[in-house]
Structure 1
Amino acid sequence: MRGVGLAVGLLALVNLAGEVVRPPFDSTHTWLGDADLPRPIFRALELASAVVLLWHAVRPLRPAWARLGGAIVVGIGAALAVRDVATFYGVLASGAIHGPAFVPASLVVLVCLSALAASIATDRADRPRWTLARAAACGAVTAASFVAMPLLLMVTLGPTRYERRADCAIVFGARVWDDGTPSLALSDRVDEAIRLYQQGLVGALVMSGAVDDHNGFSEPEVMRARAVAAGVPKDAVILDEAGITSSWTARNGALLMRRHGFSRAIAVTHYYHEPRVKMLFERAGVAVYTVPARMSRRLLKEPWFIVREVLAYWHSFLFQ
C-alpha cells in the first residue's frame, strides 16, 4: 500500500504544480468527480493528502494525533469518491449512459483511498529498515500503479457511452490505406459518428486528421466521403486537416466550435483513446461527452495500441 500511496501522492503534487504553472491542468475530477468544495479548500486538502501519503511511504507518522489526522485527510478523498460513485449509478439506472463497464473509476479510487487511510491509521512504529530490495519493491509497485491508472480509465470511462444531444461530433482520424480506403479503425469511428447524426443527437460532424505524407490521402476527406455516401449532407461535415496529433485535434476542435458557435460536443474515437481525449479537450477549454466507436471486429494491433496509449496518456498529462 505504501507504493500505491507514493504514486497517488506524486500524482497529486504534479497536478497541483501543473495547475500553478500552466492552467487548466487539474485532472482530479477524473478520479473523484466534481467536489462541491471551494477551490482553495480542495487544493489545501489535496496538498495535505499528498504530503501525508509521501511521508507514509517513507516512514511512519508520529505521534498518534498525526497518524489520525493523516488518515482523516486521506479519508476525505474517499468520501468525495463515494458521492461520484452514487452519481454514476444513479445516472446509469436512469438509462442516460450505457456501456459494458459498470464499475466507475471512482469506485476503485474509493477502495484504494480507504485502504490507504486504514494503513496510515494503523501504521507500525517498528517497520523493517529500508534495504535495496525493499526500495526496489516499493518502486516497482509505484511504477505499476502509474501504469494501472490510465488502464483503469480505459476499462471504465473508455467503453461507457455518454450519448447526449450536442452541437457536433468530433471524430478522430486514423490511417488511410494506399488505395484510398479507410482502415478498419477509421471506418468504425466514422460509422459511429454517422449513427449519432442519423439519431439526431448531433447536427454536424467534425472530421479531424492529417494528410498522409506517404500516400498523400487526406484522412478528413476520406472520412467525409464515407459519411456523405451514408447520407450525411456534405455541408454538415466540417474538415480539420491539421489534426496531426490528438492534442492538435482537441485544440482545433475547440477553435472550430467557437467559430461555429457550438457549445457541446461528442468525441468519437476508440475506447482506449477516450480518457486522454477527454483530458485534452478539457485543457482546451471544452467539456466533451465521450462515445467510443463500436468495433466491427477487434483490431489486430489492439494490445499494442493500449500499451502505446498508456505512455501517450502520461506524455499528454505532463506536456500537453
Structure 2
Amino acid sequence: MGLAIGLFALLNLAGEALRPPFDTTHTWLGDADLPRPIFRALELAAAVTLVWHAARPIRPAWARVGGAIVLGIGATLAALDVATFYGVLARGVIRGPAFVPASLVVLVCLAALAVSVSRERADRPPWTRFRAVACAAVAASTFVAMPLLLMVTLGPTRYERRADCAIVLGARVFDDGTPSLALSDRVDEGIRLYQQGLVRALVMSGAVDEHNGFSEPEVMRARAVAAGVPEAAVILDEEGVTSSWTARNGALLMRRHGFVRAIAVTHYYHEPRVKMLFERAGVFVYTVPARMSRRLLKEPWFIMREVLAYWHSFLLQ
C-alpha cells in the first residue's frame, strides 16, 4: 500500500512539473496552509520514503527517523482536514450520507506507515516470487480502491452553496427524444438548485447523439424550461462530448459570462473525476450529486468503468 501511495505522489509531482495544474494531493490531504515549495518537498520526501520502504529495508537511522517524521506531517495535515470536514458538517454547510471523509482513511494509512518506517527491521525476509506478486497485487488493489474511496466519500456529499451557475453534465437521450433516467435526474437536480436561488444560470453540457441526432443539451433545456426555468437562464454547450471537454468548455463559458463559482451536477460516482478535470481547467467547482429517483440498473458497471476513466483522466487529461 505504501508503494502505491508513493508512486501516486511521484506521478503527481511529475505531472505538476510537466503540465500544471496537475497535482491532486489536496483532494486527499485538504488544502494545506503551506507554501507550495515546502509542500512539494514534503511530498517528494514522503514518496521516496514509501517507495524505498516497499523495496528494501531503510537501514540508515537518519532516513528512518526523517521518513517517519515526514509521513507524520502528512498524517497531521490529513487530521486537520478531518477536523475541518466534521466542523462544516456539524454546522450544516455540507450534507450527505457519507460521514467519513477520504482524509480520515489517509490519516490512518499514513500514521500506520510512519510507525512501520520508524520500526523498520534490518532482517526483513528476502524477496521471493510470491512476495513480489503479492506486493504488486496489493499495490494494484490500492490504485483501484483510491477512486472508489472518493466515489463513496466525496461523491455523495452535497456541497450546496451559492454559485454563479450549475454545470449539468449530459447523459443518454433515447431514440424517441426522451431523456434517460440518468439525464432526467441530473437535470432535475440543476432545476432544484436554480429554484432554491443557489445559482442564476444552468449550463447544460452534452453532445449531439450521432445515432439518433438528438442534442442532449436541447433536451435538457426543454425539461428545465418546462419546469419553470427561464430560457434565458439556460446556456447550452453542445461540444461536451466527454467529461474533459465539458470541463474545458465550462471554463470558457464561465469566463465569457463573468462567472466565478460553479456547481458541478452529475452522479456521485462521476463527481470525483469531474472535480479533478474542472480544477485542471482552472475552475474550482463545488459538487452536488444528482438525487436518483431510483437506482440505475447499470450502476455497478458505471462504477467500475469510472475507476478506469478516473485513472485515464488523471494521467492523460
Bucket of the pairwise TM-score, normalised by the shorter protein: over 0.9
1:63 to 60, 65, 84: 60
Question: Number of paired residues?
Answer: 317
* Aligned mates of 1:107, 1:130 — CA distance in 2: 32
Of 177, 182, 187, which residue of structure 2 is paired with 1:185?
A: 182
Residue number among 272, 287, 297 corresponding to 2:284 in the alignment: 287
Match of 1:16 among 8, 13, 17: 13
1:143-158 equivalent positions in 2, closer than 5 A: 143-158=140-155
| Selected match of 1:304 from 288, 301, 304 | 301
Q: Among 131, 134, 137, which residue is 1:137 paired with?
A: 134
Is the aligned partner of 1:235 residue 2:232? Answer: yes
| Residue 86 (structure 2) pairs with residue 93 (structure 1) | no
C-alpha separation in 1, matches of 2:114 and 2:306 = 31
Which of the residues 23, 48, 52 maps onto 2:49? Answer: 52
SS at match of 2:204: strand
Q: Distance in 1 between matches of 2:51 and 2:261?
A: 39
Task: Output one character per residue of 1:255-290: Cα deviation in whole Å (capped at 9) or x when no partner.
Answer: 000000000000000000000000000000000000
Q: Specify the SS of the correspondent of 1:239.
A: strand
Shift of 1:63: 2.3
C-alpha displacement of 1:65: 2.6
TM-score w.r.t. structure 2 length?
Answer: 0.99
Selected match of 1:73 from 70, 83, 93: 70
Match of 2:220 among 197, 219, 223: 223
| Whole-angstrom CA distance in 1 between matches of 2:79 and 2:63 | 24
Cα shift at 1:69? 1.4
Give the 4+ runs in structure 1 shifted more than 3 A: none
Aligned equivalents of 1:63, 1:227: Cα separation in 2: 64
Amino acid at match of 1:144: S
The letter for the 1-side match of 2:22 is F
Report the alpha carbon displacement of residue 66 of structure 1 after superposing the two structures with TM.
1.9
Shift of 1:124: 1.3
Q: 1:64: how far off?
A: 2.3
What SS does structure 2 have at the residue aligned with 1:278? helix
Residue 110 in structure 1 maps to residue 111 in structure 2? no
Q: TM-score, normalised by structure 1?
A: 0.98
Q: Which runs of 5+ in 1 are unaligned?
A: none
1:275 aligns with 2:260: no
Identity of aligned residues (%): 85
Deviation at 1:125, TM superposition (A): 1.1
CA distance in 2, matches of 1:263, 1:66: 45
Task: In structure 2, give the amino acid aligned to 1:146.
Answer: F
